[in-house]
Each structure stands twice: as structure tokens, then as C-alpha cells.
């Protein structure tokens, strides 16, 4: 699916919400290794149950560098390392 959106004349490719692309690993391998593109990827590495989300973790070993960001917990004001799922204002 990603290949459909990749014009050949680009030097840098940005992918947001990477966890939702099923062909992320194959696309990044081809774009970087075979086509010489710089690929910048953003996305969630885990879900609210702290399970791997999509193939974001799979592409880390392909990366030249990785920056892991955290959010701020709205309840306690501390760093948030994973997401919280709420349903009708109740924690799941």
C-alpha cells in the first residue's frame, strides 16, 4: 500500500501513523536499501496493553537512529510510556 504513494523523484520519505501500514517493513527495506531514500517513520510502538503495535518495532533494527518520545500523563503529570484506553470515561 505504501508503494502506491511513493513518487520516484523524492529523496526523503516521511511515514506517519506507521503502525497502520501492513507493508511497512518491506517498504522501508526497499526504499532505503534498494532505492537509496531517506525514510523517516513516526508511529506508536505499542498499544494500551503494552503489546507490539503493527510492525513499528520490526523496523527499528533497520534504523540508523531511533528517537523514542514520551507523552505527559494527564492524570498524574508524569511521563507516559504507553497509551491509556478509556471507554465511557472508564479505564480499561
**1 inside domain:** no
Give pLDDT tens digits for 21-57.
999 999 999 988 888 899 999 999 999 899 999 999 9
The DSSP string of 22-83 is TTHHHHHHIIIIIT--EEEE---SB-TTS-B-TTHHHHGGG-S------EE-TTTSSEE-S-
CA of residue 63 relative to chain centroid, distance: 12
Q: What is the CATH number of the domain that holds 42?
A: 3.40.50.300
Residues carrying an active site annotation: 17
Give pLDDT tens digits for 65-74.
999 999 998 8
Overall domain count for the chain: 1
Give pLDDT tens digits for 50-68.
999 999 999 999 999 999 9
**45 inside domain:** yes
Amino acid at each position: 500500500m505504501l508503494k502506491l504513494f511513493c513518487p520516484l523523484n523524492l529523496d526523503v520519505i516521511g511515514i506517519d501513523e506507521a503502525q497502520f501500514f501492513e507493508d511497512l517493513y518491506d517498504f522501508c527495506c526497499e526504499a532505503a536499501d534498494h532505492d537509496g531514500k531517506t525514510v523517516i517513520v513516526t508511529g506508536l510502538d505499542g498499544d494500551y496493553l503494552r503489546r507490539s503495535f503493527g510492525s513499528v518495532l520490526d523496523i527499528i533494527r533497520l534504523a540508523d537512529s531511533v528517537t523514542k518520545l514520551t507523552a505527559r500523563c494527564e492524570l498524574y503529570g508524569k511521563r507516559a510510556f504507553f497509551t491509556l484506553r478509556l471507554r465511557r470515561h472508564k479505564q480499561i
